[in-house]
Chain A
Amino acid sequence: MKLDSMYQEVILDHYKNPHGRGLRDGDAEVHHVNPTCGDEITLRVKYDGTTISDVSYEGQGCSISQASASVLNELLVGKELAEAQKIQETFLELMQSKGKIEPDDAMEDVLEDAVAFAGVSKYPARVKCALLSWMAWKDATAQALDGADAERKTA
């Protein structure tokens, strides 16, 4: 059944048992919404230099958006910023592929569990759900690092 390509077991697992959910201390906080469906996320990032020490989040939304946030937390926490950006860009590329990218081993190495979202990319209405937390993370990271820059300049 086609549905199974979207609702992979790994996605449903993350949805039912989300990683790192709940808001904790952070350097920046953003609130992103998907106005077409009402999905919302509040996300905080915490950096230790250029290492991501935490991504915490709270939100409401469909299984795809919630599972995506959980996968993001699992993948990015503990990573160096440059590596995290590469993961984010790869995920974005996959989600914008309209189902045309069949992830290869190299992509799987980068994306790990996030590769399960490949099937979602075939459903244009759901791509935004999958990307919600990743766009929020990108935005929060920019704000956190801007803030850090500003602090250094004023120090």
Chain B
Amino acid sequence: MTQLPGLLDTEAIRKDFPVLDRLVHDDRKLVYLDNAATSQKPRQVLDALSEYYERYNANVHRGVHVLAEEATALYEGARDKVAAFINAPSRDEVIFTKNASESLNLVANMLGWADEPYRVDHETEIVITEMEHHSNIVPWQLLAQRTGAKLKWFGLTDDGRLDLSRIDEIITEKTKIVSFVLVSNILGTVNPVEAIVRRAQEVGALVCVDASQAAPHMPLDVQALQADFVAFTGHKMCGPTGIGVLWGRQELLEDLPPFLGGGEMIETVSMHSSTYAPAPHKFEAGTPPIAQAVGLGAAIDYLGSIGMDRILAHEHALTEYAVKRLAEVPDLRIIGPTTAEDRGAAISFTLGDIHPHDVGQVLDEQGIAVRVGHHCARPVCLRYGIPATTRASFYLYSTPAEIDALVEGLEHVRNFFG
């Protein structure tokens, strides 16, 4: 077996993930390389979910009975865990949403309805990048269409990085918000946050960071990022689906208006008007995803027990190995950085003229799960003149043997369509 420096004890870790033992297509060992789409869940998270429903289930912040109080303590305890996980200055800066898309839509809507100095209107500009997931493009397009604001973006270099050469022309005095991805879900690129934040701060623009592909894979420190908002989702980091996070700076959350109205987010309501609860509850209308928040808390405990820095080192070693092995496959072209430097563990590629859909199908027959398509980042495909890519993405339980299986599988694909 290939041994690489920095690898985790995957044999032990994989025992925590029941689904990784599954055989598919009768007798094939599952090789799960679709972690950028969603991660698998460890037993510890599955147990936390069922334990919550079996022992505590109640609505939160509403009852005086014992279950309601315990459920509330678990839900708010999960908020504490998230706050610690991202080094938030205050737990009240952590808003639970249903996913990263909702988090980003929430920011866009806060700014659309805000008063000065945050308000996005027809005299102002929004800046994103060409490598965003659709969830960090479409909310801003909607905001621009509704307010008349101008939408601008950073283009990409040929080697899959942000082209910041015209940063002073793109981020200007008119810019109200700069929203960009920390780690690209399609290219794997890790973006230079500091350079963008520095320019945004010069012109007084807010900064929103989509950390969906970062939070699961590396230490995330919102204070070090110096952003104003950070969004991510639970299901990519061993948590359940249906739970996301928006972190926002406290003073902003105090000033900005709510988006969704309903129970939980109010202070008093009359038939004429309402006043609102303080953040984070101001932004959590209705019964929240309680069990899912508890599950996310368990996922954070799990990741913490291994250590985010060790997970980062593990994935870096795997990525180095993967780019080296993939380079051996004839006609394979990596879309994105071709080395492991400033790169996450999602690797997109094309294989000659064979369409990714066909690549994915033949790999699936061998038990290898990858993602094919445009990965909700169609502008990236357009930029590189390709219809789609095949993407292999790794996580803490991925092994060099699985990368070997992928490389062998691709050989089979080439023979099949050759």
Contacts and interface: CB of A to CB of B under 8 A. Distances in A.
A6 B25 CA distance: 14
B315 to A, nearest CB: 27
A2 B365 CA distance: 8
B18 interface: no
A81 interface: no
B357 A37 contact: yes
Contact of B374 (A3, A38, A63): A38
B351 interface: no
Nearest to A6: B361
Interface residues of A, number: 21
A37 B355 CA distance: 10
Given A38-B381, A126-B361, A129-B357, A7 B387 contact: no
Interface in B208-231: none
Interface in B295-311: none
B357 A39 contact: yes
A60 interface: yes
Contacts of A64: 357-358
Most chain A beta carbons < 10 A, residue from B357, B374, B381: B357
Contacts, number: 47
Given A2-B25, A61-B387, A129-B357, A38 B365 contact: no
Interface in B332-364: 355-358, 361-362
A37 B25 contact: no
A61 B355 CA distance: 6
A36 interface: yes
B358 A37 contact: no
Contacts of A123: 361
A23 interface: no
A2 B367 CA distance: 13
Contact of B357 (A1, A2, A12, A126): A126
Contact of A37 (B362, B388, B417): B388
Interface of B: 25, 355-358, 361-362, 365, 372-374, 378, 381, 387-388, 416-417
18 contacts: A2-B365, A3-B361, A3-B362, A3-B365, A7-B416, A37-B372, A37-B374, A37-B388, A38-B373, A38-B387, A38-B388, A39-B357, A40-B387, A60-B355, A60-B387, A62-B356, A62-B357, A126-B361
Given A3-B416, A37-B357, A65-B357, 20 more contacts: A1-B365, A2-B25, A2-B365, A3-B361, A3-B362, A3-B365, A6-B361, A12-B417, A37-B356, A37-B373, A37-B374, A37-B388, A38-B374, A38-B378, A38-B381, A39-B387, A61-B355, A62-B357, A63-B417, A64-B358
